[in-house]
Chains A and B, each alone.
Chain A
């Protein structure tokens, strides 16, 4: 598995939104993946609870901030937020590479009819450089 669930590092970090999904339940199996993985079945905890994080290969850590909206099952959305050293500029290329790992992790675990193969083919069709076969992927 290229992505692991973790907790926020203790050291100070700057949190920057790099991907925002407002309608996680558009295909509800995606929303249910997050419910199951982060035990969100009880809805938003009083006080908001802790912000879960994921770590990708290469060491990048990303917060997952779940969003709620009246009239929609929780979570209705999610923000993926890059954690960096407080004054460190964002490396957009690295963020894209890391986000692609996160998308692979999500789609693989959402399962049928969604497949990693279809994600990779879609990425290749739309010229996402990280969607190349593993051996050809930029490092």
Chain B
């Protein structure tokens, strides 16, 4: 795997804190928080589990300074958005419907999507059903197929962590995914523990508010069957061969979604560039936020998006 950009020995990033407070919009009966910063063509940045718009705090300033408008929602159950209180209330389709409604409500006609983790299947599902409105895609540490990464098939630690009763104990009572779990999935753990970790854990203050942190893992199909697997099979077939401008950015040290997943996106999407490798594990934005911002700006300014 060749490296490109980024360095573990580079200067430490500052922690500017959370993005500016945004506003709430109600879609599908759910109150979503969305932050909008800057003016220019729209770039929608989608987080996954167990993060929030906070994930993009070191990326957004680079985009805004380069003349782009960043739209950063908190998915239902995360950040400042309404929490999800019953597992039967959500599926991948619910999140796609929320995104669809939010983009329409904000009046966004042309969009570049930046997707991480669950933000990938969610954002890409919107993209393939609104192809004419997609300017470009940026994908990082995510997937769009029903076969799972080896990490997600192992009992220790992944399946045990969210097993019946164990999930509500570890991830509910002890907020283990937003705390220790994220800590294990960044490169500079000391810096993360010193600042950002408390912000992430603080956004999920009660066991009930953390439901999606073990419900999302339970949505990942392990045997290729079920509603989510069928959705992902459909998504992969829709993406296959689509000549959409795309950029793939991946963490060199990512041990959740392997490098093969990054390469698979470049095969699936013939016009995709990359992978561009940066310092980072699964939550690569915590280690390489500004660099990722610069890679996205380079992609946007290269003329890929019209």
Q: Which positions in A face B, CB cutoff 8 Å?
A: 18-27, 30-31, 69, 78, 80, 96, 99-100, 102-103, 106-107, 113-115, 118-119, 121-123, 125-128
Cα distance A27–B163 in the bound complex, in angstroms:
7
Task: Name 25 A/B residue pairs within 8 A (Cβ), A-sorted.
Answer: A18-B173, A19-B169, A22-B88, A25-B164, A26-B162, A26-B164, A27-B163, A30-B164, A96-B173, A99-B173, A102-B165, A103-B169, A107-B160, A113-B155, A114-B155, A115-B155, A118-B155, A119-B160, A121-B156, A122-B156, A122-B161, A122-B166, A126-B157, A126-B181, A128-B174
Q: Given contacts A126-B176, A127-B180, are A19 and B157 in contact (CB under 8 A)?
A: no
B17 within 8 A of A: no
Q: Please state if B173 and A19 are interface contacts (CB–CB under 8 Å).
A: yes
Given contacts A18-B173, A30-B164, 19 further A-B contacts (CB under 8 A): A19-B168, A21-B164, A21-B167, A22-B87, A22-B88, A26-B162, A26-B218, A31-B164, A99-B173, A100-B169, A114-B160, A114-B163, A119-B160, A119-B166, A121-B156, A121-B157, A122-B160, A126-B161, A126-B170
What 0/1 pattern do residues 273 to 297 of B give for CB contact below 8 A with A?
0000000000000000000000000
Partner among A23, A78, A102, A125 whose Cβ is within 8 Å of the Cβ of B87: A23
Q: Does B172 contact A (CB under 8 A)?
A: yes
CB contact list, B133-171 vs A, under 8 A: 155-157, 159-170
Q: Is the interface of B mostly helix, strand, loop or mixed?
A: helix
Q: Which 10 A-B pairs have the closest CB atoms?
A: A30-B164, A126-B176, A122-B160, A118-B156, A122-B157, A126-B180, A21-B165, A24-B164, A22-B87, A118-B160
Pick the contact of A19 from B86, B165, B180 — CB < 8 Å? B165
Contact B163 A78 (CB under 8 A): no
Number of B interface residues in the complex (CB < 8 A): 26
B165 touches A30 (CB 8 A): yes
> In the complex, what residues of A have CB within 8 A of residue B165's CB?
19, 21, 24, 30, 78, 80, 102-103, 106
Contact, CB under 8 Å: B164 / A125: no
B residues within 8 A CB of A107?
160, 163, 166
Decide if A27 touches B164 in the complex (CB within 8 Å): yes
Measured CA separation A126–B181 after assembly (Å): 7
A20–B171 Cα gap in the complex (Å)?
A: 12
List B contacts of A80 (CB < 8 A).
165
Q: Which residues of B contact A (CB under 8 A)?
A: 86-88, 155-157, 159-170, 172-174, 176, 180-181, 184, 218
Bound: A75/B122 CA distance, A: 31
Please indicate the chain B residues that have their CB under 8 angstroms from the CB of A103 in the complex: 165-166, 169
In angstroms, Cα B160 to Cα A88, docked, is: 33
A22 touches B173 (CB 8 A): no
B157 and A125 form a contact (CB under 8 A)? yes
* Contact in complex: A69, B88 (CB < 8 Å): yes
CB <8 Å contact, A19 and B172: yes
B180-A125 in contact (CB<8A) = yes
B164: which A residues are within 8 A, CB to CB?
A: 21, 23-27, 30-31
**In the complex the two chains form, is A122's CB within 8 Å of B87's CB?**
no
Rounded to whole angstroms, the CA-CA distance of A96 and B87 in the bound complex is: 23
B212 CB to nearest A CB, Å: 12
The interface centre, meaning the residue of A26, A31, A99, A121 with most chain B CB atoms within 10 A of its CB, is A26
Distance A78 CA – B167 CA, assembled complex (angstroms): 13
